Amino acid sequence: MATIRVPDEVPSPAQDSETLNKAFRGWGTDEKAIIRVLGKRNESQRKRIRESYKEIYGKDLIDDLSSELSGDFKKAVILWTKDPAERDARLANKVLNDKKKTIEKLKILVEISCTSSPNHLIAVRKAYCSLYDSSLEQDIASSVPFPLAKLLVTLATSFRYDKEKVDKEVATIEAGMLHEAISKKQLDHDHVLYIIGTRSIYQLRETFVAYKQSYGNTLDKDVDGCPGDADLRSLLQKVILCIEFPEKHFAKVVRDSIEGFGTDEDSLTRAIVMRAEIDLMKVRGEYFNMYNASMDNAIIGDVSGDYKDFLMTLLGSKI
């Protein structure tokens, strides 16, 4: 359930383009106008605005936003305005080009692979090839150590059935295969990768239920207790969470970004931007259930200025 509020009557792409261009002119930028337009337009509307802006002014809207805005507000607006597939391709490339590929950074690849629709993930891979003259799976394989790369490539190249049909008998059988792999301390076993990387989200959730019914513990708990590669264990647990409870995952991303000393604005922006048109309403609910606190109030108390106003607009607030 999305949180952005698109007005009942939306100006034409040409009118929105004119409003944005006017916001860039003069002695300073009209940030409120930018928020008012881009923060209240859905994906298809933003695409038409980008196209119209290019046609009318002969310039790229993203380039003008980049030159006129600054700081975390600029990053958030640009991430929101980009085509979603290009956005996620660039996020993945940034992770893979980071000299310090921490397990927390690699979890962004899990996030993209396991919380996207099958068609969106294909679009991300196509955008990646177009942008970087290389495939996402090739860059994962060449820059991430084994066995983490083995898992990440499997996830990035998956094309899952997206209907709710499940087979309970298969779920029970494959729960047994997962349990056997964990018992043998083989989290990167081909059976694990095959099940995690090919089954539909709904089938996997049924398998997770069957696992607990058969073996007493959740799959996540048994993976956590499995000796061996700690990074692989952590990555696989993130896969399970993103598949089983994507809303809880993003609620945790938001919480972790604003807890403690300082704010991780990049993570906060990513979570809000990625889910504002998908399930941010559910993320907000899970945040309250998990932390007994308002996600909106937590964000308001941690960030400020135009950046805060833009995030809150994506969350559906009236600014």
Residues 97-135 pLDDT 10s: 998 889 999 999 999 999 999 999 999 999 999 999 999
Q: Per the annotation, does 24 bind a ligand?
A: yes
What pLDDT sits at residue 155? 97
pLDDT-above-90 percentage for the chain: 95
Q: Per the annotation, does 258 bind a ligand?
A: yes
What pLDDT sits at residue 69? 97
- What is d(CA 98, CA 274) in angstroms, rounded to the nearest whole number? 21
- 217 in Cβ contact with 179 (< 8 Å): no
- Each residue's pLDDT tens digit, 158-203: 999 999 999 999 999 999 999 999 999 999 999 999 999 999 999 9
- Each residue's pLDDT tens digit, 249-298: 999 999 999 997 889 999 999 999 999 999 999 999 999 999 999 999 99
Domains parsed from the chain with CATH numbers: 13-69 (1.10.220.10), 84-157 (1.10.220.10), 168-238 (1.10.220.10), 247-315 (1.10.220.10)
- 136 in Cβ contact with 125 (< 8 Å): yes
pLDDT-above-70 percentage for the chain: 100
Q: Per the annotation, does 302 bind a ligand?
A: yes
Q: What is the mean pLDDT of the chain?
A: 96
Q: Per the annotation, does 49 bind a ligand?
A: no
Positive or negative: CA dihedral 5, 11, 15, 19: negative
Q: Per the annotation, does 180 bind a ligand?
A: no
Nearest CA to 250 out of 102, 112, 54 is that of: 112
- 318 in Cβ contact with 34 (< 8 Å): no
DSSP H helices, the chain, are 13-24, 31-38, 43-57, 61-68, 71-81, 84-97, 103-114, 118-132, 136-143, 148-156, 168-183, 190-198, 201-215, 219-224, 230-244, 246-258, 265-275, 280-291, 295-300, 305-314
